[in-house]
Amino acid sequence: MQKKSNAFKRFASGTGFKLLIVLIILIIIAVLISSDVLKGGSPFGKGFFSSINLRSLLYKLVLPLFMLSGLGMLLISGNIDLSVAAQATLCNAFFAVMMRDTNLPWWVVFILGLVLAAVIGLLHSIMVLKLNFPAFIATIGMSSVYTGIAGWLLNLTNVNVSDKAFLSIAKTTLFDLIPLTTLVGVLIVFICQFVLSRTRFGRNCFATGGNKFASRLAGINTNRITTILFMVCSVITALGGLFYVSQTKKADPTAVTSSAPNMTALSAVMLGGVAFSGGTGGMVGPLIALLVMQVLDNVLTVIGVKPYWNTFAVGALLILALIMDYLAAEKRRKALLAAVQ
Amino acid sequence: MTKSKSGGFFKELLQKKVFPLIILLIVEIVVFSLWASGIGSKFFAITTIRNILNNMVFAAFLTIGAGCLMLSGNMDLSASTIGAMAGVVCAWSVTHSVPWYFAMLIGIIVGILFGLLNAFIITKFRFPSFIATLGMSSVVRGLMYFASSIGKEDASAQNINFTNDIMYDIGNKKLFSEFTILLVIMLIIYIIFAILVARTKFGTKVKMLGGNPIAANLAGINSKGIITLLYVISGGMAGIAGTLFACKMQQGSLQALSTAQFTGLTGAILGGISFGGGEGGLGGAFVGMLILNTFTVGMSVCNVNSNLATIFNGLLLIIALALDFFRQARRNKV
């Protein structure tokens, strides 16, 4: 019991809790404005809580959601991969072309796609660890390599996927509302959170991100951790990408990269309390941050403002969150100073 | 005596980060020349050089700001958006019968103001610059769309077209029959800043700040002042680039400069400005941009398939990184 209340206290003082409050306020505002509640009707019929709107919100979530977990863990361990959107494009292209040109069952091709992603992750870790490339720029470079290969595979047109069993993945829903793909994504976030907070591997991730040299001296195999995290990041991303193919029924050479889900995911990760330099944070904060960003976007669309205010709001939200963070830190510092005096 | 000195100079050059890049640039030119002559067109020509240089004008302006900031360990991801905003404001002013010099001035001032705002939130609230400027770029983009819709009946965001002969001349007229005025302006400003960074106290302070911010603070460097100044420079350069782009296109474009930011940043990193700051200079960044643009132009001269061009573009970055790796490995062995 004691332990439980401690865990709650820790959550309540963290970034995740603040974001959760913002999320709830956002949803309340959205419901008040967009549905018939104020006229005495039910909140579920139309507007934010209508099933069409919720479903579109959840489907839109898939790509950034899957990138979120991998990127978050990489960032915590002090690395970054900016090529995830291009990786997803490449795996999608590979999947669609294999489905068109071979007679393999869909799940074999699916697994091959994930293996391809794992190889990509391995390649990135070799670049960063053995060749000492800065991850930031090496992955930017590889990102255009993958985009180019995907464009070549697809011949720069959409390739349709028509396998019924594969397409049914995206159609499967819980309670006729929550797509299976989103559920899997959220589940992965929680698994990552569990690994980070409850296992030795997770602790070593934080140590690697906090101080690589000290961790190595302390006997942590930092190279192994970095390799695993790069591979995990790529595989989770590819999984999200393949689910996206299942949703859209085609592999598109530009759609994934042009909507920049990696930037959305990266913003959410940092908004959710993971420091850019690594070593701190968790996965629940980023998840809620992503929800806040997507709900805000959705709310503004439902209300019907001009679309450019969405862009404005996302940026303003980021800056607001940073200011709140600063004020909280300042308050703590003042309290500490007062206690000392 | 002179011989040993020149040997020393050569050795020093070998040690420099720029050296493998110059080799890469030369290799690139040779390969493209051979390739182009193989398929019957010409790479090594004055038009090619002109295209390469003209292509990089806007990216170079952004690189001045981005390079200085990166040297100090900071970053500005909002520069291209600020530039586009400046262009839109400039175009809007011209269409509302503001004189052209005043409109351009307003555009540049808009850039400087957003630079100040960036500096304010980063120094005052101690934001990580990467995420703060990422947020700012969304904010500015939203405001830009809004600004471009002011005065339209349907309030929709659109590019603002205008015609002004003097501005057209500034953006398109050529000096010495080949090179544009824009290019000359860019080169002059770029050289001034390159010298400022490499040879003055200010430049040393900037690099110290990037190398070790705590030590720099203890050494009595006014870090907040310098960072503010650097963001103002970055914003101002973005403002200049944006207004000049508007002059060239006769349009306040909502998509202006969007690729220039990426080229500028990768050029700077390619040119040896390390990501954490403290190392490198604007000269290297210029060579980095030359490599990138020579490559793009060479690809189009040789009629390379666009997918392959994208792949090679990425591989080029990887090759540059690999060269740097071998250089460092050799130095470590010695």
Is the pLDDT confidence value at A311 over 80?
Answer: no
Q: So what's the pLDDT on residue A39? A: 65
Cα–Cα–Cα angle for A227, A231, A233, rounded to 5 degrees: 115
Q: So what's the pLDDT on residue B332? A: 66
Q: How confident is residue A335, by pLDDT bands cut at 50, 70 and 90? A: confident
3-state secondary structure of B57: helix
Is the ipTM here above 0.90? no
CA nearest neighbour of B231 among B98, B100, B122, B110: B122
Instruction: Give the DSSP per-residue string, B220-284.
Output: T--HHHHHHHHHHHHHHHHHHHHHHHHHHHTEE-TTTTHHHHHHHHHHHHHTT--TTSSS--HHH
Tell me what the mean pLDDT of segment B179-187 comes to.
85
Cα dihedral B179, B183, B184, B185 in deg (nearest 10): 150
CA nearest neighbour of A57 among A259, A292, A314: A292
CA nearest neighbour of B327 among B13, B10, B12, B14: B14
Q: So what's the pLDDT on residue B192? A: 92
Q: Considering only the beta carbons, identify the residue of B126, B130, B139 that sits closest to A326.
A: B126
Cα A218 to the center of its chain, rounded Å: 31
CB B242 within 8 A of CB B257: yes
B101 contacts: CB under 8 Å, gap ≥ 6: none
Is the pLDDT confidence value at A267 over 50?
Answer: yes
Looking at residue B132, what DSSP letter applies?
A: H
3-state secondary structure of A254: coil
Looking at residue A173, what DSSP letter applies?
A: E
| Alpha-carbon distances, residue A142 vs A123, A136, A169, A210, B186 (angstroms) | 10, 10, 30, 26, 31
Tell me what the mean pLDDT of segment B136-146 comes to.
87
Is the pLDDT confidence value at B53 over 90?
Answer: no
Listed by number, the residues of chain A in 319-338 with a beta carbon closer than 8 Å to a beta carbon of chain B are 319, 322-323, 326
For B262, name the nearest residue in chain A, comparing CA atoms only: A140
Taking the Cβ of residue A258 and every Cβ of chain B, the question of whether any pair is shorter than 8 Å is answered with no
Cα dihedral A103, A109, A115, A116 in deg (nearest 10): 80
A93 contacts: CB under 8 Å, gap ≥ 6: A149, A150, A153, A154, A159, A251, A253
Tell me what the mean pLDDT of segment A95-112 comes to.
86
What CA–CA distance (Å, rounded) separates A234 from A116? 9
What CA–CA distance (Å, rounded) separates B125 from B133? 13
Is the pLDDT confidence value at A1 over 60?
Answer: no
B192 contacts: CB under 8 Å, gap ≥ 6: none
CB B237 within 8 A of CB B62: yes
Class for the domain spanning B20-31+43-329: mainly alpha
Q: So what's the pLDDT on residue B330? A: 67
Q: So what's the pLDDT on residue B200? A: 87
Q: Lowest mean pLDDT: which of A125-129, A159-163, A293-297, B112-116?
A: A159-163
What residues of A are in contact with residue B266 (Cβ under 8 Å)?
Answer: 137, 140
Q: So what's the pLDDT on residue B4? A: 45
Is the pLDDT confidence value at B181 over 90?
Answer: no
Cα A231 to the center of its chain, rounded Å: 16
**B325/A308 Cβ within 8 A:** no
What CA–CA distance (Å, rounded) separates A98 from A105? 10
Q: How confident is residue B107, by pLDDT bands cut at 50, 70 and 90? A: very high
Cα–Cα–Cα angle for A114, A117, A121, rounded to 5 degrees: 140
Residue B164 is encoded by which pair of tokens?
Answer: 């002004």
CB A327 within 8 A of CB A321: no
Q: So what's the pLDDT on residue A259? A: 73
Chain mean pLDDT for chain B: 82
What CA–CA distance (Å, rounded) separates B143 from A63? 27
**B306/A156 Cβ within 8 A:** yes
What residues of A are in contact with residue B322 (Cβ under 8 Å)?
Answer: 131, 133
Which helix (H) or strand (E) segment is B123 a member of? helix B100-124
Beta carbons within 10 angstroms of residue A59's beta carbon: 17
For A309, name the nearest residue in chain B, comparing CA atoms only: B142
Choose the mutation target among B80, B143, B317 for the interface with A, i.e. most A CBs under 10 Å: B317
What CA–CA distance (Å, rounded) separates A8 from A323? 24
**A316/B275 Cβ within 8 A:** no
Residue A154 is encoded by which pair of tokens?
Answer: 């697809």
Residue B318 is encoded by which pair of tokens?
Answer: 């990887």
Q: So what's the pLDDT on residue A115? A: 93
Q: So what's the pLDDT on residue B275? A: 64
**A144/B149 Cβ within 8 A:** no
CA nearest neighbour of B74 among B140, B17, B112, B122: B122
% of chain B exceeding 90 in pLDDT: 14
Is the pLDDT confidence value at A44 over 70?
Answer: no
Q: Lowest mean pLDDT: which of A29-43, A326-340, B288-302?
A: A29-43
Tell me what the mean pLDDT of segment B149-168 comes to.
76
Q: Write the pLDDT tens digit of every residue in B242-289.
A: 999 998 888 888 877 777 777 777 788 777 776 666 677 788 888 888
Tell me what the mean pLDDT of segment B59-79 comes to.
87
Q: B330 versus A120: which is more confidently predicted? A: A120
Tell me what the mean pLDDT of segment A88-106 comes to.
87
CA nearest neighbour of B53 among B182, B176, B193: B182
What residues of A are in contact with residue B328 (Cβ under 8 Å)?
Answer: 132
CB A104 within 8 A of CB A253: no
For A151, name the nearest residue in chain B, comparing CA atoms only: B307
Question: What values do phi and psi take at B67, rounded to 5?
Answer: -65, -50
Residue B327 is encoded by which pair of tokens?
Answer: 């250089």
